[in-house]
Amino acid sequence: MDESTYPAIRVEDIRRTFHPGTVQEKKALRGVSFDLRPGEFAVVIGSNGAGKSTLLNALAGEIPVDSGRIVANGTEIQNWPVHRRARLMSRVFQDPMMGTAAALTIEENLSIAARRGQRRSLRFGIRKSEREAFRAKLEMLGLGLENRLSDRVDLLSGGQRQSLTLVMATLKQPQLLLLDEHTAALDPRAAALVMRATTEVVHENATTTLMVTHNMSHAIEFGNRLLMIHEGKVILDASAEEKSKLTAGSLVDRFHDVVSDRMVLS
Ligand SMILES: Nc1ncnc2c1ncn2[C@@H]1O[C@H](COP(=O)(O)OP(=O)(O)OP(=O)(O)O)[C@@H](O)[C@H]1O
């Protein structure tokens, strides 16, 4: 395949069973496959226990898969350790406290993100050009954080902190951005701020993104692909065009249709 036509990420029939052969056996991923084209923003939905977190953990290398392949830009990575995959992927978690260092300032946090994977430490200070680049990135968020570079991060609200985490996660242009219910711990107003920040950072460099959410209106409004997971399988894979026609109601109907069809067939 010509390099320019590689999917950004290819997930091929990945499977993972927890506690196999015991009474607690749980088939969390039962043959999940999909490709994401460069720049695609896929939203992943599914009920509790569907396998969404296991999928993200398998992509990030936090848990090994039993079988199947994960291919990033033409290279198989399913056997790579977490730290090696971290050079390709950034992940933002639900807890706004997790992605940033509370006792450091906004610019120190950004500086650490900018030096990820390099030997150069903060001891060398932050260059003027870097500071200007940080300001420009923060301006995109429309939260006024560009004027608070020397404020400690623990002075920020949850929504501001999660927005900063998004900027940090995309500072070094990841091959894949994993958003793991990254607005679920926020109130609706803060969640809206963070989704605005998400749109900005994803669109800025057309970052390939996989966003897990339980929020149906976010699932409808954001992204250009929709994957519905149920019992460890993708049961709906909607393209941008199909997705644009979906409503929260029709999505719930689709879920019930597919699940009842599968029950009839099984
Ligand atoms: N480490 C583990 N050990 C045993 N079982 C696990 C483990 N991780 C997940 N599971 C089980 O695998 C299934 C899929 O879990 P997963 O957390 O991926 O679902 P989810 O779609 O993220 O759910 P939620 O929306 O509730 O977060 C569940 O039945 C869960 O209990």
pLDDT in the model for residue 4? 57
Q: Is the CB of 152 under 6 A from ligand 1?
A: no
Q: How many residues does the chain have?
A: 266
Summary mean pLDDT of the chain = 92
Q: Is the CB of 48 under 6 A from ligand 1?
A: yes
> What separation in Å is there between the alpha carbon of 81 and the centre of ligand 1?
21
**Measured between alpha carbons, how far is 250 from 261 in angstroms, rounded to an integer?**
16
- To 10 degrees, the CA torsion angle through 11, 13, 19, 21? -170
From 18, 94, 234, mutation site for ligand 1 pocket: most ligand atoms within 8 A of C-beta: 18
Q: Is the CB of 51 under 6 A from ligand 1?
A: yes
ipTM of the complex: 0.97
pLDDT in the model for residue 260? 74
Residues of the chain predicted below pLDDT 50 = none
pLDDT in the model for residue 253? 85
Ligand 1, atom 29: closest residue by C-alpha: 49
Encode pLDDT of 165-213 as tens digits.
Answer: 999 999 999 999 999 999 999 999 999 999 999 999 999 999 999 999 9
Encode pLDDT of 119-138 as tens digits.
Answer: 655 566 788 889 999 999 99
Domain ranges in the chain are: 3-96+175-265
Q: Is the CB of 52 under 6 A from ligand 1?
A: yes
Q: Say if pTM beats, i.e. exceeds, 0.80.
A: yes
pLDDT in the model for residue 119? 62
Architecture of domain 3-96+175-265: 3-Layer(aba) Sandwich (3.40)
pLDDT in the model for residue 121? 58
Q: Which of 1, 2, 3, 57 is nearest to 32 (CA)?
A: 57
Please state, for a pLDDT cut of 70, what percent of the chain lies above it: 93
Q: Is the CB of 46 under 6 A from ligand 1?
A: yes
